[in-house]
Amino acid sequence: MKSLAKDADEGAAPEGFTSIFNGKDLTGWKEPAGSLSKFTVTKDGELNVKNGKGTLESDGQFGDFVLQLECISHAKNLNSGIFLRCQNPAVITDENCYEANIFDQRPDPTYGTGAIVKVAAVSPMPKAGGKWNTYEITARGKRLTLVLNGVKTVDVEDGKLASGPIALQWGRGTIKFRKVEITPL
């Protein structure tokens, strides 16, 4: 796995990757109608969301790719996720997108942090709260893999969704995202 860490002098994404969050504003992203979340960019270049259920959706469509990003939650009750290949941008759910979950306190941990909801369970479930976490998500044809903090938590085949936008979700708690970078395959 390529590291998301950058040299202090270097503002570019790792070699072969393109940043899809510029760290300055929400250019390239939109909040779907009805989203109650308040996504803001901090002075440190982090995407912050802390209230109102909803998502932030990429303008671009993605089929086969590797997505890398970092996220942190300071709340133990966080419920968030990274949606992939979304089919209906007006209504983003774990039924019409793949959801790489970030949900340490999920009542049924089967599809908690490190899982793809309703597609690939995780066991044991890693904990993401209180620290920066690195996600690497690969979608190549039917094959989906998720690596969380250097540990592969999902490696599964599921062909129901081929392409679509990426969306960052907020359901509860406080979360920040940074270094959202992608490379097509």
Domain residue spans in the chain? 34-184
Matching residue, tokens 């959801």: 99
- Is pLDDT of 54 > 90? no
Q: So what CATH class is 34-184?
A: mainly beta
The whole-number average pLDDT for the span 111-136 is 94
pLDDT at 86: 96
Percentage with pLDDT > 70 across the chain:
91
Positive or negative, the CA dihedral 96, 99, 105, 107 is positive
pLDDT at 91: 87
Positive or negative, the CA dihedral 105, 111, 115, 121 is positive
